[in-house]
Amino acid sequence: MFIRWLGYMKNIKKLILLFAVCCISLSAGTNTVQACPMCKIAAEDAGNDRLPQAYMASILAMLSMPTLIFTVLGVSLYRISDKEQQIADQLNNKTEK
């Protein structure tokens, strides 16, 4: 069923529109988050030199997750589409002979 759905989404304009609608709908329900203005001072006053590095590492990990998820999803969809196209080409070649 999903592969059939990919066949309907050949038009790139529809795909871009779907992506835009998904992004807008996901961002519509979120609120702006503000960090505590004293967090930097509290981390520096803790006496632990590794604490700011730990915060930085956790922020980088959180920022990399969406990129990783979308990359894996995109590569997977590309492979599925490419494999389906190869199968369709093979079937067309058999019927032409």
The residue extents of the domains of the chain are 2-29+37-96
What pLDDT was estimated at residue 56?
77
List, for the chain, all residue ranges whose pLDDT scores fall below the cut of 70. Answer: 1-13, 15, 27-48, 97
CA angle 61–63–65, rounded 5-degree value: 70
- Check residue 77 and give its pLDDT: 92
CA distance 56 to 13: 38
pTM above 0.75, yes or no: no
Distance CA(77)–CA(65), nearest Å, equals: 18
pLDDT at 20: 80
- 9/3 Cα distance (integer angstroms): 10
